[in-house]
Structure 1
Amino acid sequence: MCEQHRTEFVLEPSAAERRGRAGPCKPAEARRAVERAVVERCRATDCPCDADALSDALLVASELTTNAILHGGGITDFHVDVVGPGVRVSVSDRSDRLPVVAPPTDRQGRRRVGGHGWPIVCRLARDVRVTDLPSGGKCITAVVPLS
């Protein structure tokens, strides 16, 4: 876990509320949604987009959605919005298990493939929250600075 993660309980949107929103189901779709939100915000405020900050936000979105697919039983909800000087990405999945950092080697001392997603999210985001959902599963929200 990120050293400063937070776990909280919030009300989950009803099925009727979720039906109207079709969110990304794949990392590439999540990246496009994040890019669209950031570019629209830059246009609206007439401020140039920081390419490195946008890249960080895209990577966080990609890692969160990939982890939800690989370890969380699939993506159940996705939200992105630009808040103040950052972009907030929220990904929900079916698993109650909290993210963990995998050791770099297995029991036989062989280097593992993968296992870098959660540390990347924790390194690039200034705020990471893990929220338990009432009907099961969790929502991970990360705020990535845009400047």
Structure 2
Amino acid sequence: MREQYRTDSAVAPPATHRPPPIQPADARRAVRGEVARHAVPHGATGLEDALLVTSELATNAILHGGGITGFDVDVEAGAVRVSVSDRSDEVPVVERAVDERQRWRVGGRGWPIVCRLARDVEVAGLPSGGKRISAVVPLA
């Protein structure tokens, strides 16, 4: 069964509709629950990567996207697909680790982590504005 937390759809929510998580910990809890429902062995390789990707996507939506407006998690074909929607139309970019004066920047590591750990990352604009970022992280 697919957990749905979406709020970015104009269609009436399903009976199991829940509001999107408002904190990264809530999003991680949803991923753990969905993985458990699919009988993926505890400690499976890739679960920690999926949780880290989930945390980064949720945190970025909160810090840079005006908040989480939708969230989906699904486990299929040996992978976890996490989708996080927010209010911003801006596509994430990779920031250099140092600024023009060669000083280390604070932050800016989340998007490269997502791109490194996920086998498939997609950024899609939403008809109502904002974007949805989906990432697929393999489980082994």
Question: Same fold per TM (> 0.5)?
Answer: yes
Q: Tell me if 1:21 matches 2:21.
A: no
Where do 5+ consecutive residues of structure 1 fail to align? 1-11
User: Is the contact between residue 81 and residue 87 of structure 1 (CA under 8 Å) also seen in structure 2?
Assistant: yes
Structure 2 length normalisation: TM-score? 0.87
Structure 1 length normalisation: TM-score? 0.83
Q: Tell me if 1:105 matches 2:101.
A: no
**Alignment-mate amino acid for residue 59 of structure 1:** L
Where do 5+ consecutive residues of structure 2 fail to align? 1-7
Q: Tell me if 1:68 matches 2:64.
A: no
The number of residue pairs the alignment matches comes to: 132
4+ runs of 1 displaced by more than 4 Å?
Answer: none
Structure 2 CA distance for aligned equivalents of residues 35 and 79 of structure 1: 13
Aligned alpha-carbon RMSD (Å): 1.8
**Alignment-mate amino acid for residue 45 of structure 2:** D
2:128 is matched with 135
Structure 2 CA distance for aligned equivalents of residues 50 and 86 of structure 1: 14
Q: Percent identity?
A: 61
1:36 is matched with 33
User: Which has the larger helix fraction?
Assistant: 1
Once the two structures are TM-superposed, the CA of residue 108 in structure 1 deviates from its matched residue by 2.1
CA deviation string 1:88-135 (max 9, x = no partner) = 000000000000001111222210121110111011111111111011
Structure 1 CA distance for aligned equivalents of residues 103 and 11 of structure 2: 45
Three-state SS of the structure 1 residue aligned to 2:46 is helix
Structure 1 CA distance for aligned equivalents of residues 75 and 11 of structure 2: 25
1:87 is matched with 80
1:146 is matched with 139
User: Is the contact between residue 126 and residue 145 of structure 1 (CA under 8 Å) also seen in structure 2?
Assistant: yes
